[in-house]
Amino acid sequence: MSKTILSRGDFWFSLLTTDAKLRHGQCASVKVADGKISHKPARFIAVVPDADNQFPRASQGEVGLLEGWTLAKMVDEVVEADKNKTEKTAIIAIIDVPSQAYGRREEAFGIHQALAGAAGAYAKARLAGHPVIGLIVGKAMSGAFLAHGYQANRLIAFNDDGVLIHAMGKASAARITLRSVESLERLAASIPPMAYDISSYSKLGLLYQLLNITNVQQPSPLEVDLVKQTLIDAINDTLKQGVDLSNRLQAKDRQASALVRAKMREQW
Amino acid sequence: MQNSDTSFIELSARERARRLLDEGSFRELLDPFEQITSPWLERQGIVPAFDDGMVVAKGTISGKPAVVMAIEGVFQGGSMGEVSGAKMAAALELAAEDNRNGIPTQAVLLFETGGVRLQEANLGLAAIADIHAAIADLRRYVPVVGISTGTVGCFGGMSIAAGLCSYLIVTREARLGLNGPQVIEQEAGIEEYNSRNRPFIWSMTGGEVRYNNGFADAYVEDSVNQVKQAMNDCLKQGVPNQFRSDQYDYYLTKLNTVDTRKQVEAADVTALLGRGDRK
């Protein structure tokens, strides 16, 4: 366990990997440990702040160039290692990513490609039969979430004010849509996909479980057990249902997505 | 008129798709007469479009089954909402299913998009995750060819989709990047990224520089014939030995040598990733 807690993501990574073996050698902002969850092999991965990050725009837990490519490598490593095994290691992505890295270096050196590396690796793992579970303990923003978590078979989130899922930060979203932050917030109150809070998000049918934790930063041992049990349930559920993401398409507030698929199949 | 060349960029999304498919083979799915519009835009006082800015057309390319998905950059900046995103995801998913059933349906994606439609934020983002999933699935069987020609560019989560494609074709007028210039300026300041300095922006994310630095496979003029020729060449190459998105060792090795104490200039990127350094 790390001595200083860098972030919520780091904290939950520590709680879930007490008996796991830390992997060393990759960039400091991507923590990886191999252990077990209910006797099943699992690799835990978290993106954490690194004040000394070589790329300064990615020092606060953002997913940048090194993080994207490193996530790709860490996930692919498991897929390669398990290539000939029937029991595939579960991959647990602990998600607390405030954003992708916004910067000139990032664009210049192709951050879009680094994030494609990560998203592609998670998808490849899922298609190879690895249960991939995303545990959202803090922020899950935009491109960072697409790179670290959105390819998971199952998403679990904490029902907590500090949990935010969105396509863009409020100030930027307001600027791009030529609205004030206030009018953006007013709209978000009645249009669920625009909202930033986790209870609005949960109406979109994209979550497997929404967990109540009294204090996310000081959970009781029982609550930590609940999280572990939910991860195990998610793994088992995934193994039963298979590799695709169709389980996300059931919600009332995501009706059009299902309608389009049905019509497309009809006309295909 | 088949052999006469014209600008590709000036064509609508529907016309682009028609021109890339074999003559007479174009058949649009969920066309505007179906009137499947965004359920979220009217509530915000925005006039929707009957195709939601996404054209999905089946047909053949060089006689083989194909599906072309073209984003209409004119509608809401080519942004991905619930319906437009689901149209693209669904078509990719069905193409993968075709391949599993022995029908080798190939896919071509025309990216003219700013990324997520912020008026449908989290559903646009979810649809983009589905698109990523579907490209990763389909590209195992057949080439998935991405094309970005201009003038909207390819940004946000859709630039990640472009990065997942088996091959990517760009023109000089194209731009490819994760974050739009305005957003970087908003988040990081004008010193970091000046969203009004067009030559600077093209020197970072323009089609030519992306091609020269290995982020695209073909660089073509704004010409229907050239785009089509490049697309055919990519399709002929089949599934690549290694996807660009799997080249983490190459990129990590390179990036770890970068001195990031000073800000980066265009020449530094070419020195690091430029084609001169490749085989």
Segment A239-249 mean pLDDT: 92
Q: Inter-chain contact A109–B93, Cβ cutoff 8 Å?
A: no
* Nearest residue, CB atoms, A245 vs list B44, B130, B258: B130
Distance between CA B228 and CA A60 in Å, rounded? 44
Q: Does A55 touch chain B (CB under 8 A)?
A: yes
Buried-exposed string A142-157: b where 16+ CB fall within 10 A, e elsewhere: bbbbbbbbbbbbbbbb
In this predicted structure, the answer to whether residue A138 has a pLDDT above a threshold of 50 is yes
Within 8 A of A77 by CB-CB distance, chain B residues are: none
pLDDT at res. A171: 84
pLDDT in tens, A10-61: 999 999 999 999 999 999 999 999 999 989 999 999 999 999 999 999 999 9
Q: Does A121 touch chain B (CB under 8 A)?
A: yes
B4 CB neighbour count, 10 Å cutoff: 7
Q: Judge contact between A92 and A45, C-beta under 8 A.
A: yes
End-to-end, the C-alpha distance of chain A in Å comes to 53
Q: Judge contact between A138 and A95, C-beta under 8 A.
A: yes
In this predicted structure, the answer to whether residue B2 has a pLDDT above a threshold of 60 is no
Q: Are strands B167-171 and B144-148 parallel, antiparallel or unpaired?
A: parallel
* Nearest residue, CB atoms, B122 vs list A172, A193, A256: A193
CA-wise closest residue to B260 among B272, B249, B250: B272
* Nearest residue, CB atoms, B260 vs list A55, A111, A117: A55
Lowest average pLDDT, out of A16-20, A173-177, B61-65, B120-124, goes to A173-177
pLDDT at res. B3: 58
Lowest average pLDDT, out of A58-62, A241-245, B266-270, goes to A241-245
Within 8 A of B89 by CB-CB distance, chain A residues are: 261
In this predicted structure, the answer to whether residue B233 has a pLDDT above a threshold of 50 is yes
Best B113, B119, B248 residue to mutate vs chain A (most A CBs within 10 Å) = B248
In this predicted structure, the answer to whether residue B277 has a pLDDT above a threshold of 60 is no
Within 8 A of B122 by CB-CB distance, chain A residues are: 165-167, 192-195, 201, 204, 206
Q: Is the pTM of this model over 0.90?
A: yes
Best B58, B251, B264, B270 residue to mutate vs chain A (most A CBs within 10 Å) = B251
Within 8 A of A254 by CB-CB distance, chain B residues are: 82, 123, 126
Average pLDDT over all residues of chain A:
95
Distance between CA B234 and CA B36 in Å, rounded? 33
CA-to-CA separations, A14 to A28, A90, A102, in angstroms, rounded:
15, 17, 28
In this predicted structure, the answer to whether residue B276 has a pLDDT above a threshold of 70 is no
Q: Percentage of residues in chain A with pLDDT exceeding 90?
A: 86
Q: A1 falls in which pLDDT band (50, 70, 90)?
A: very low
Distance between CA B89 and CA B9 in Å, rounded? 24
* Nearest residue, CB atoms, A102 vs list B30, B187, B248: B187
Q: Which residue has the higher pLDDT, A251 or A210?
A: A210
Within 8 A of B255 by CB-CB distance, chain A residues are: 65-66, 69, 109
In this predicted structure, the answer to whether residue A170 has a pLDDT above a threshold of 90 is no
User: Diameter of chain B by CA atoms?
Assistant: 57
In this predicted structure, the answer to whether residue A201 has a pLDDT above a threshold of 60 is yes
Locate tokens 């030995």: which residue?
B241
HEC profile for chain A? CCCCCCCHHHHHHHHHCCCCEECCCCCCCEEEEEEEECCEEEEEEEECCCCCCCCHHHCCCCECHHHHHHHHHHHHHHHHHCCCCCCCCEEEEEEEECCECCCHHHHHCCHHHHHHHHHHHHHHHHHCCCCEEEEEEEEEEHHHHHHCCCCCCEEEEECCCCCEEECCCHHHHHHHCCCCHHHHHHHHHHCHHHCCEHHHHHCCCCCCEEECCCCCCCCCHHHHHHHHHHHHHHHHHHHHHCCCCHHHCCCHHHHHHHHHHHHHHHHC
- Structure token pair of residue A267: 């006309």
In this predicted structure, the answer to whether residue B279 has a pLDDT above a threshold of 60 is no
CA-to-CA separations, B146 to A261, B56, B169, B235, in angstroms, rounded:
22, 14, 6, 11
Segment B200-227 mean pLDDT: 97
DSSP three-state, residue B105:
coil
- Structure token pair of residue B88: 């693209």
DSSP three-state, residue B145:
strand
The dihedral through the CA atoms of A82, A87, A89, A95 has a sign that is positive
Locate tokens 């791009």: which residue?
A176
